[in-house]
Amino acid sequence: MPRARRWLGFGSVVGVTVPGRHLPEATIARLPRYLRALTELAEGDVATVSSESLAEMTALNAAKVRKDLSYLGTLGTRGSGYDVAILLGRIRAELGLTREWPVAIVGLGNLGRALALYGGLPARGFKVVALFDQDPDKWGEKVGGIAVSPATDLADIVSSSGVEIGVVATPASAAQGVADRLVGAGVTAILNFAPLSLSVPEGVALRHVDLSTELQILSFYQHQRSRHRPPVL
């Protein structure tokens, strides 16, 4: 089996101040949590924060916070903690949130609609610029100010509008076809809400959010609780 190696990143290319490279995936997945906490602190005009209190806000532990942040460089000050504004900027930069990302949503059922109308996206630098559905009744309808287009126009619109991130909110049966079309149109990151495992070419980033899966995991712990000892998580 080929087993493509994941990340491979490393230090800077000649003199750019990119510090400790190869962020562990687990760390990457936590950066948004730090971001949230820091945003809150910044809004409350808190100037500095210790790893201890950041840990509390994010429900992590201080050692993990320090280790994670140390991958981004030497950002703290011993004795006093981290400067909120600096850390915020550094994490934003690391996550690529200094620019706006145009996003396309495919599938305007209840979920797709909810996503299209979700105010948290624009607030965080994601701009929904295109909506698609295969149902002719929906074409032209505006959701959150954006008109719904036929799924057949996906390739044209996506490539012309520079969308690189696609959200799949179709039923399972349509999802793989949609993913293929998104990839064909140049999308290189997909967030999948359909209840199946999509397959995408290597090089396309893929994340999967599934309500039923989450509930089933909770169900496991509930069930466990009733059988043996109280679990946690």
Partner DNA sequence: GTTTGTGAACCACTTCACAGCC
Partner DNA sequence: GGCTGTGAAGTGGTTCACAAAC
Kindly tell me which residue out of 31, 38, 41, 82 binds DNA, with binding defined by CB under 7 A.
82
Q: Is residue 212 a contact residue for its own copies (CB under 8 A)?
A: yes
Q: Does residue 141 contact residue 132 with C-beta atoms inside 8 Å? A: no
Among 14, 17, 79, 232, binds its own copies (CB under 8 A): 232
- Considering only residues 95-134, where is the footprint of DNA by CB under 7 A? none
- Do 49 and 63 meet the contact criterion of CB atoms below 8 Å apart? no
Of the candidate residues 4, 43, 59, 78, the single one contacting DNA (CB under 7 A):
78
Residue of 40, 47, 52, 219 interacting with DNA (CB under 7 A): 52
Reported as half-sphere exposure (CB side, CA atoms, 13 A), residue 25 has a value of: 6
Q: Determine, following the binding rule CB under 8 A, whether residue 64 of this chain makes contact with its own copies.
A: no
Residue from 19, 61, 152, 162 touching its own copies (CB under 8 A): that is 61
Count of residues making up the chain: 233
**Which residue, 33 or 66, has its beta carbon nearer to its own copies?**
33
186, 159 contact by CB (below 8 A)? yes
**Residue 189 in the binding site for its own copies (CB under 8 A):** yes
H or E segment and range at residue 168: strand 165-168
Instruction: Assess contact for 119 and 144: CB atoms under 8 A.
Output: no
